Structure 1
Amino acid sequence: MKLTDIFKVSEKTFSFEFYPPRDEIAAVDFGLNIGQLIKLSPSFVSVTYGAGGSTQSRTFDLVDYLKNRVGLNTVAHYTCVGSTRSRTLEDLKTLRKLGLQNFMLLRGDPEVGSKYGFIPCYDGFANATELITFAREFIDDCCIGGGAYPEVHPESPSAEIDMRNLKKKVDAGCDFLITQFFFDNKRYFDFVSRARKAGIKCRIIPGIIPLTKYSQLERFVNLSRASVPPAFLEQLESNRYNPEAVYKAGMDFAIRQCRDLLMLGAPGLHFYTLNKSRATVEIYQTLMVR
């Protein structure tokens, strides 16, 4: 089922992102965790695509498994990095043959070790807008999602330019957007308001990542440029050597964040699970009970 059809009948959706396990040991752990998450009956799940297609075969295998064996509404990520137009067409057709109708089309991160940032390959795509335009021309009967940054794309010179680029992406054929994770809900709602004023009408689903370890703080903030509310940051800093206290603080914050988002009108939640189930299951069950 296309996500656009799900959106027509579901005011709010709950979804999870996975990435392909890197080895057999990780695959066993993933199997245990995904079993717990599947029990929550997500509206859909998405599967990431490694830089430069580094996890392509594993991505396609996992997408096939989740879609055709588990029976989940599955979204396949696909990126511009390292992909020519001919290869992209072949890959998208392969995914369609697996029964996939839903795609997250992204520019993607630069290849590992790149000193010069993102560089389009010969006969490739400069950005997600070009990739989406291409997919709309050659792939029939599909639903396309894109990424969005409530606190501005790290490479964008300004919020205004970032919003103009986002509008171009949506106009190229983007049916929905999923945001990068954030910790300040006001940033999300301000972003949605600016997007609506810019003429963007599609569903904008907030991305959520529970911060449950102190070691995650710097990595997550550097990855997304997300601002952390001072009171929450102080809680984490003061308990940095107490893993249990950090976990509790992170979970309490994530539950409040998710509840507030839903109460104030967010059209659902998309959890970046990191292939772990505990935090997401606890948040989901708490929200459903209350």
Structure 2
Amino acid sequence: MRVTEYFEKAKGDTLVSFEVLPPLKGGSMQAIFDALDPLMEFKPPFIDVTYHREEFIYKRRASGYYEKTAIRKRPGTVGICAAIMHRYGVDAVPHLLCGGFTKQDTENALIDLAFLDVQNVLALRGDARKFEGKFIPEPEGHHYASELVEQITDMNKGKYLDELVNGDEATKTNFCIGVAGYPEKHFEAPNLEIDLRYVKKKIEAGADYIVTQMFFDNQKYFDYVDACRAAGINVPIVPGLKPLTKLYQLTSIPRLFHVDLPEDLVKAVTKAKDAEGRRRAGIEWCIAQSKELKERGVPCLHYYTMGDSSTIHQIASAVH
């Protein structure tokens, strides 16, 4: 079933969903199952599976030449989605990136997903490689998420890259397309108004719903929804949530995700006497966030598990 159909079927009730990371190179699918098994009691209608492009380093050899070596490679998101759907009977939402994919790579991935009856995707530009100062697309790849959305929409209409297969007999896919939104704006956008123009472009290209970047101040989400509506963006906007549970995250989260941390949250974490106290402070903050969002009738609470399903389980248990 399409993600937006789940929202419609819920008739105003707030759903819950989770996002998981594929295991690192050498890891097993059992790690995913171990993380998801305790969360299935909350009956998530869909589970997101992230995708991370390969990362490389260049080692200098004795000859003076540099050797390109992969240091980060994750198993296929497509296969993980199939395993999740088979084990739990819930829909999987694979993330698709511009970065690391040519247009042909994207089409091949979408064909595989359609064969598996995956009906939902989250279309993202993706981040720049660590050694690049800005995002650089693959040759023959997409520069922007809106272009990726256009390609998926074309396939929903039966339009493929190879003109020879287009026409009345071409198989039409049926993907529900999610995209990212940034309540505190994307860090590359000069201001929120311009950021919303890009969001609207993704919706006009065929996107069906928005999932937000994590935030820790609900008012920023509410203001973002109001700004989207004023800009003519009327699709469902799902809040993305992640608890802050460790002291180092006070600096790493703002640096990596470009979000602000409320003063009260920072005080609660720094005043805690030990690691468990800091973890509890972050959990209580996320619980309060979740309850307020649920009371305001958001379509779904989307939790970024980040490999810490036990913490997410505590939060979901208190809210649902």
Distance 1:23 1:34, change over 3 A: farther
* Residue correspondence of structure 1 range 163-174 to structure 2 within 5 A: 163-174=196-207
Aligned to 2:83: 65
In 2: Cα distance, 1:107 partner to 1:46 partner: 16
CA deviations on 1:159-217 (whole Å, 9 max, x unpaired) are 11101111111111110100000000000000000000000110000000011111222
Do 2:16 and 2:42's aligned partners in 1 also have CA atoms closer than 8 Å?
Answer: no
From 233, 238, 242, the counterpart of 1:205: 238
Deviation at 1:109, TM superposition (A): 0.9
Do 1:51 and 1:112's aligned partners in 2 also have CA atoms closer than 8 Å?
Answer: no
Do 1:163 and 1:195's aligned partners in 2 also have CA atoms closer than 8 Å?
Answer: yes
Aligned to 2:62: none
In 2: Cα distance, 1:37 partner to 1:61 partner: 20
Deviation at 1:264, TM superposition (A): 2.1
In 1: Cα distance, 2:19 partner to 2:73 partner: 15
Aligned to 1:194: 227
Deviation at 1:2, TM superposition (A): 1.0
Aligned to 1:286: 318
Secondary structure at the aligned position of 1:283 is classed as helix
From 27, 43, 46, the counterpart of 1:44: 46
Do 2:24 and 2:75's aligned partners in 1 also have CA atoms closer than 8 Å?
Answer: no
Secondary structure at the aligned position of 1:244 is classed as helix
* 2:301 pairs with 1:269: yes
In 2: Cα distance, 1:189 partner to 1:272 partner: 19
* 2:166 pairs with 1:134: no
Do 1:79 and 1:106's aligned partners in 2 also have CA atoms closer than 8 Å?
Answer: yes
* 2:195 pairs with 1:159: no
Do 1:14 and 1:268's aligned partners in 2 also have CA atoms closer than 8 Å?
Answer: yes
RMSD: 1.7
In 2: Cα distance, 1:214 partner to 1:161 partner: 34
Residue identity matched to 1:250 = G
In 1: Cα distance, 2:207 partner to 2:30 partner: 35
Deviation at 1:268, TM superposition (A): 1.9
Aligned to 2:279: 247
Do 2:23 and 2:75's aligned partners in 1 also have CA atoms closer than 8 Å?
Answer: no
Scaled by the length of structure 1, the TM-score of the pair is 0.93
Residue identity matched to 1:21 = P
Do 2:121 and 2:176's aligned partners in 1 also have CA atoms closer than 8 Å?
Answer: yes
CA deviations on 1:113-165 (whole Å, 9 max, x unpaired) are 22x31012221111000000011002421100000000000111111110111
In 2: Cα distance, 1:69 partner to 1:266 partner: 28
Secondary structure at the aligned position of 1:100 is classed as coil
In 2: Cα distance, 1:260 partner to 1:254 partner: 10
* Residue correspondence of structure 1 range 25-174 to structure 2 within 5 A: 27-51=29-53, 57-114=75-132, 116-139=133-156, 140-174=173-207
More helix by share: 1
Residue identity matched to 2:2 = K
Do 1:120 and 1:126's aligned partners in 2 also have CA atoms closer than 8 Å?
Answer: yes
Do 1:167 and 1:200's aligned partners in 2 also have CA atoms closer than 8 Å?
Answer: yes
Aligned positions, number: 286
In 2: Cα distance, 1:27 partner to 1:234 partner: 39
Secondary structure at the aligned position of 2:109 is classed as helix
CA deviations on 1:206-255 (whole Å, 9 max, x unpaired) are 0000111112222222222211111111121233x610110111111111
Contiguous gaps of at least 5 residues in structure 1: none
Aligned to 1:7: 7
In 2: Cα distance, 1:119 partner to 1:25 partner: 29
In 2: Cα distance, 1:74 partner to 1:64 partner: 8
In 1: Cα distance, 2:197 partner to 2:143 partner: 16
Q: Provide the identity percentage.
A: 34
In 2: Cα distance, 1:219 partner to 1:52 partner: 22
Scaled by the length of structure 2, the TM-score of the pair is 0.85
Secondary structure at the aligned position of 1:51 is classed as coil
Contiguous gaps of at least 5 residues in structure 2: 56-71, 157-172
